[in-house]
Structure 1
Amino acid sequence: MNPPPCSLPANVMGAAGSAPLHALALLRYGAPSLAFAFVALPLYVYLPEHYATRYAVPLGYLGAVLLITRFADALFDPWLGRLADHLLRHGLAKPALTAASVLMFTGFAALFALPALLPFEADPARFTLGFVGALLLTYLGFSAASIVHQAWGAMLGRNETELARTVAWREGLGLAGVLLAALVPQLGGAPALVVVFAFALLAGLVLLWRAPDPAPHRAATHALHWRSLLAPLHNPRFVALLAVFVTSGIAAAIPATLVLFFIRDRLDAAALAGVYLFAYFAAAGLLVPLWLRAVPRLGAARCWLLGMAMAVAAFVWAALLQPGDRWGYALVVVLSGAALGPDLVMPPALLAGVIRAGGHGNRFEGAYFGLWNFATKLNLALAAGLALPLLALFGYRPGTLETGALPPLVVAYCLLPSLLKLVSAGLLWHFFVRGRPGLAASAS
């Protein structure tokens, strides 16, 4: 069988090493991702509810602080990417990831201790300083650890299939962490969340220190020069992949922002929200091995394209559901969960190949993933900034059951993401499946 158009030449892909990685090595590499998931889910879902219900911190205040600090955090990502290249060049990936994890845990623990030690009502100004400081420390540690981890992973594997396996282990363990992080607060509250996070992070780091080292890095000695931040943007194939990733990411982030509203105000099934979310992530994690088996035959780009088609089918089906269609939505959950696997695994695998094909392998991985993480955070901000104002403009009122054929909530949750996914699929087909010779050129 001829290789798919998105495949990379063997001499390019072989730059990462000659021996295939076995499952234990990939487990050791991916292990910290399980703990990292504790930072992503609780800060967006559990922390606001914990502060508001237990400590009477105003919701509007929480939303403003979380938005501002998250935006500030995103601005650091390109610089953290170049710092990662500098650290990789000096063989400091493991110590750097460990130090970043310590910062992340310190901030995380402080966040859940803060309202009991310094109540908001007693001194809002001091509370705000502590809250912002703890958030920034958590975000900084999480971003630095994630970027180093992702850049390291892009240097493992000899070909597209092995790159996909590396990413799949990392993201699959991350999905397991999401499920664990969703379950722990229900059983033991905030103290249990902090304790379990500590044990998961310690276990992940112990395993990581026995993981295979990344290939020798050749980052320039001026790795932290500001001009090097723009190096990935000189690679036209990266710009094309980034366009696919951003449109697809916004399409995924909009329903993630609105899912609880849809379950409550369209399906009238608020009591099942936790079950639906668990089933969604479980379906994604369980089906990742099947997607990996498809990569050698179809290629990462075609697998991602197939996942996009499944996501569109799921959300078009969701648009047809009426209040009370709980089993119908269960099918949507499973189908969209199955489509999440390619969204998680294939883009980073394609990115690793793009880095190598552009002549930046073992030189600029951190810079690429710094910009990539910035785009990921931008997706979340754009989703909320696009979907929520549109809902308000067209008359949606939270807490009111949405009836009829196409109320505003259905349009925003189902049809808008489907349209964006189709745009993303068209870009993916044009640039990475059908192939464009002009984009295959090496970066200057």
Structure 2
Amino acid sequence: MDSAANVRLNKGELFAFSFLVVPMAVIGLPLAIYIPPFYSGTLGLDLAAVGIVMMLARLADVVIDPFIGRWSDRTRTRWGRRRPWVIAGVVVMMISSIMLFMPQISISNLYLFAWISAIYIGYTLIEIPYGAWGAEISGDYHERNRITGSRQMFSLIGLLVAITVPIVASQSGDHGTAASRTSMAALGIITAVMLPICATVLFRFVPEPSFHHTEPIAFRQGLRIALRNGPFRLILFTVMLGAIAGSVNAGVAILFLEKVAGLASSQSSLLIFVLFLAAVVGSPVWVRVGGRIGKHRGVVLAGIVSLCAFALVPAVIYWLKPIAPEWVFPALLAIIVVQGLTSSASPILGASMLADVVDLDTLKSGEQRTAFLFAFLAMVRKIFEAAGVGIALPILSWSGFNASGSVNTPFALFMLTAMYCLVPLALWVGCVFIVAQYPITHERQQRLRGALERRLARRAASRLAVEPRVMPAD
């Protein structure tokens, strides 16, 4: 049984493994940013109802996360543990992306609920086994940064594709809106076409890691062990705060940029494009920073720099805009560049940190359950993402904000500013403080991995010793 402790992927394998996140990112961005204005502004559904529907759909998806993780960990097929689940997710996402982004029948809240629920489930069927696959490929501290860094780079490429399509659509005279029927349909088609191609490349060129036999434990016992894992709890708390902050911020981003900042649709789309382009540029930097100063310190450093820049948004709106409105776009562009350059630190180093925590969990629980831990965090993240969009949009509706109107009250615009900036800012400060307490350094991870490899080797030797030997025939 080969050890994953020092496995290093070559560039071709790294490309093949990371390629799948491109279509997932292409569809993931619109779910967060474009679905609310598309179904409320373009298709005419009530804004508060859209927020509630998205929250309920997210909560419906949450229920299946731990089961997918647990079943994936315990799947045994000739094709591996993770591949069958990824195939199922690809099929579900191909169908639901077309139905959600290219609606051909009368639109209703029930239609939105059905197909956004389906696409969330398909996404989960891919995300959890795929994430576990990546965490198990290598046990090396730095190689894990490299794998998550590559995956983040390809994810950002997908996000750039997702934001470029609306920019092109808004410039082509398609009613001047980023969330138009044309741009949404293009995103749905791109996703449906790319998913099977990227999955085929993954299956062809990246072998699944060797499975180490471990003893299964009961669900409740495993959950108690996970919640007693100190580093895992810290990651859990940051996921809670970060998910609700990101959901609130992303769910109203387009509305804020156009209704409060007064930017044109093309300028709003350009800002988001620059955000992700800067993130691509910054990604390799954070892989190196995490290797030099430690993963959690890299996240803290990036968080402090990003929050200092984002805290300037209210000054741009309430001080700069009244006296020099022509400088609002350049000022927000500068803030976005800083945020973009630092934004990759958390997904790259955070995912690598979770892979290290899985080693500690395997030592404590005795079971290799990478997908379960990924699924548990995904479940928590989705609950808080659902809470974010389910709270923010109804609050805006209560404040009198009109997404399709050209005039809103100062109070409604202030509430939109609070949802975009002030509330997320406070929550992200909490995230930075929690991450600073994370205890697994490079040296401790090496000790953990060494102890885990020795335990797995002893278990394998023990199994070989008790297995009956087949005597050769005379």
Shorter chain as denominator, the TM-score bin is 0.7 to 0.9
**Map of 2:373 onto structure 1:** 368
In the alignment, the residues of structure 1 paired with residue 380 and residue 349 of structure 2 have an alpha-carbon distance, to the nearest angstrom, of: 16
What pairs with 1:7-46 in structure 2 (closer than 5 Å)? 16-46=4-34
SS class of match (2:6): coil
**1:215 counterpart = 2:222:** no
* Separation of aligned partners in 1, 2:371 and 2:256: 38
Corresponding residue for residue 193 of structure 2: 199
Change (3 A) 1:414 1:194: closer
Quote the residue 1:358 is aligned against: 361
Pair 1:422 & 2:429 matched? yes
Equivalent residue runs for 1:290-309 within 5 Å: 290-309=285-304
Say whether 1:95 aligns with 2:76. Answer: no
TM-score computed with the length of structure 2 as normaliser: 0.77
Identity %: 23
Write the deviation string for residues 339-364 of structure 1: whole angstroms up to 9, x where unpaired: 21112111111010011123259711
Q: Which residue type is aligned with residue 21 of structure 1?
A: L
5+ long unaligned stretches in structure 1: 1-13
Choose which of 212, 215, 226 in structure 2 pairs with 1:232. 226
Partner of residue 339, structure 1:
342
User: Equivalent residues in 2 for 1:30-429 (5 A)?
Assistant: 30-51=18-39, 56-87=44-75, 91-113=80-102, 115-116=103-104, 118-120=105-107, 128=110, 131-184=112-165, 186-187=168-169, 189-218=183-212, 228=222, 231-271=225-265, 272-321=267-316, 322-323=320-321, 324=325, 325-359=328-362, 363-385=368-390, 387=392, 407-429=414-436
How large is the Cα RMSD of the aligned pairs? Answer: 3.5
Q: Is the 8 A contact 1:229 1:367 kept in 2?
A: no
Normalising by the residue count of structure 1, what TM-score does the alignment of the two structures yield? 0.82
Q: In the aligned structure 2, how far is the partner of 1:229 from the partner of 1:104? A: 29
- Per the TM alignment, residue 47 of structure 1 is displaced from its structure 2 partner at its CA by 4.2
Which ranges of structure 2 fall in alignment gaps of 5 or more residues? 170-181, 453-474
Cα deviation 1:310-369 (Å, max 9, x = unaligned): 121111222221322221111110111112111211111101001112325971111110
Equivalenced residue count is 418
Moved more, 271-280 or 383-392: 383-392
The residue that corresponds to 2:459 in the other structure is none
Aligned-partner residue type, residue 251 of structure 2: T
Largest Rg, 1 or 2: 2
Contact 1:254/1:384 (8 A) holds in 2: yes
Whichever residue aligns with residue 102 of structure 1, its letter is V
Give, in angstroms, the shift of residue 220 of structure 1. 5.6
Deviation at 1:177, TM superposition (A): 0.9
Aligned partners of 2:339, 2:409: CA distance in 1, in Å?
22
Give the C-alpha shift of residue 393 in structure 1.
Answer: 7.6
CA distance in 1, matches of 2:288, 2:133: 23
CA contact (8 A) 2:48 2:397 kept: no
Shift of residue 230, structure 1, vs aligned partner: 5.1
Residues 1:229 and 1:144: Cα distance change in structure 2 (over 3 Å): farther
Q: Which deviates further from its counterpart, 389-398 or 172-181?
A: 389-398
Q: In structure 2, what is the Cα distance between the partners aligned to 1:409 and 1:58?
A: 17
Q: Secondary structure at the match of 2:137?
A: coil
